[in-house]
Amino acid sequence: MKALVLERQGELSLRDIDLPSDMGPTDVRIKLHTVGVCGSDVHYYTHGKIGDFVVNAPMVLGHEASGTVIEVGKDVTTLNVGDRVCMEPGVPDLTSRASKLGIYNVDPAVTFWATPPVHGVLCAECVHPAAFTFKLPDTVSFAEAAMVEPFAVGMQAAKRAHIAPGDTAVVLGAGTIGIMTALAALAAGCARVLISDLSAEKLAIAESYDGITGINIRQTSVVDAVAEVTAGWGADVVFECSGAQAAMNDLFRIVRPGGAIVFVGLPPDPVAIDISAATVRECRMETVFRYANVFDRALDLIAAGKVDLKPLLSETYPFDASIEAFDRAAEGRPSDVKLQIRVDTESEAP
């Protein structure tokens, strides 16, 4: 079928490619509707690898997806043909030790869309386990459903933070994941969230939400801003979503004694952190890799109107303009948060 294929670093094509299509008894076949352009997709396009994951052969991109069920396996009881759905893109080995511990996101055997050598879903249809496919409530559009995946990362970060009602949080980096982490922190009970970035445009989008205050680090020190808001005590939780060394240098000056730091962003290169500064504050440090057991909760929050992701959608491209969408994402326009590609251009549903 026709798909957006990363041929090699820096080269994309829209062409026919043979993709796995066999269905098992617990699988469903899905007609893709909307697929988001993720930063990891763009990084594979521009750099050809992320850490140890290297693109050594042509690979279909895309893992933030929604669509419609068009076929169900004989043992599937939770979904029906015609159901609108979104899909958790990582499928673990359910017999693995990681899965049994409830941390299937770090299962070495997990297969995750658009992670070499696994193909993604910027194509017409896909086959996926029903257990990792979630029916959409009528209140959730295909576009919102395709943002459940990145929002689940923010949910995982909030879960790892062990937020208490009334906490003050700081998010370093106002990209897509940074803003979604801020929204997840508010949903988890934070009274206020400060978010920092170099981009005034992204900060303006973040500040359109009640409870979020932006810090433009071109103009104001994060350390000073947090000290002013917390009377010098520090934030209860700091979410590091930028991956920048400069942000790492400030971590232990903005977290309160006994507070938590959650590492969400993936630095492109190794970074240094001050262990001595962490120790004297007895900080708890957590890391986030994708998510586990939060995908349905993320969808429920959106469906309930507790989290509104619509302001984060910058533009939607038709499937035939997929390469243009990726080139724009690679530009890194300051005003862009989330770009999406509408694969199904025939359906009238948004």
Own/partner pairs, 216-225, CB within 8 angstroms, 24+ separation: 222/170, 222/172, 222/194, 222/196, 222/250, 222/254, 223/250, 223/253, 223/254, 225/194, 225/196
Distance, in Å, from the CA atom of 183 to the CA atom of 259, rounded to the nearest integer, reads 20
Given a cut of 70, whether residue 233 has pLDDT beyond it is yes
Domains (range + CATH), the chain:
2-147+309-342 (3.90.180.10), 153-287 (3.40.50.720)
Q: What is the pLDDT of residue 348?
A: 60
Q: How many CB atoms lie within 10 A of CB 58?
A: 16
pLDDT top residue among 28 and 270: 28
Q: Is 227 exposed, middle or buried (0-12, 13-18, 19+ CB in 10 A)?
A: middle
CB hemisphere CA count around 340 (13 angstroms): 29
* Positive/negative CA dihedral, 20, 53, 134, 173: negative
Distance, in Å, from the CA atom of 322 to the CA atom of 193, rounded to the nearest integer, reads 34
| Residues whose CB is less than 8 angstroms from the CB of residue 226 and which lie 6 or more positions away in sequence, other chains included | 170, 194, 234, 235, 254
Q: Residue 130 — very low, low, confident or very high, per pLDDT cuts 50/70/90?
A: very high
Given a cut of 80, whether residue 268 has pLDDT beyond it is no
CB 65 within 8 A of CB 8: no
Q: Is 278 exposed, middle or buried (0-12, 13-18, 19+ CB in 10 A)?
A: middle
Q: Residue 51 — very low, low, confident or very high, per pLDDT cuts 50/70/90?
A: confident
Which of 140, 162, 333 is CA-nearest to residue 260? 162
For the chain, the C-alpha Rg in angstroms (whole number) is 20
Question: pTM of the full predicted structure?
Answer: 0.95
Given a cut of 80, whether residue 258 has pLDDT beyond it is yes
pLDDT (tens digit per residue) in 70-100: 999 999 999 999 999 999 999 999 899 999 9
Burial 74-85 (b: 16+ CB within 10 A, else e): eebeebeeebbb
Backbone angles phi and psi of 103, in degrees to 5: -120, 50
Distance, in Å, from the CA atom of 16 to the CA atom of 45, rounded to the nearest integer, reads 19
Q: Where does 163-266 show beta strands of DSSP type E?
A: 168-172, 192-197, 212-216, 235-240, 255-263
Q: Residue 187 — very low, low, confident or very high, per pLDDT cuts 50/70/90?
A: very high
**Tokens linked to 348:** 């009238």
Distance, in Å, from the CA atom of 307 to the CA atom of 15, rounded to the nearest integer, reads 37
Which of 322, 339, 346, 344 is CA-nearest to residue 6? 322
Q: Is 195 exposed, middle or buried (0-12, 13-18, 19+ CB in 10 A)?
A: buried
What is residue 231's DSSP assignment? T
Given a cut of 80, whether residue 346 has pLDDT beyond it is no
Q: What is the pLDDT of residue 80?
A: 98
Given a cut of 70, whether residue 349 has pLDDT beyond it is no
Dihedral, CA of residue 102, residue 106, residue 108 and residue 113, to nearest 10 = 110
Cα-based angle 137, 175, 335 (whole degrees, multiple of 5): 95
Distance, in Å, from the CA atom of 329 to the CA atom of 323, rounded to the nearest integer, reads 10
Parallel, antiparallel or unpaired: strands 212-216 and 111-112: unpaired
Distance, in Å, from the CA atom of 142 to the CA atom of 164, rounded to the nearest integer, reads 32
Distance, in Å, from the CA atom of 333 to the CA atom of 350, rounded to the nearest integer, reads 25
**pLDDT more than 70, % of the chain:** 99
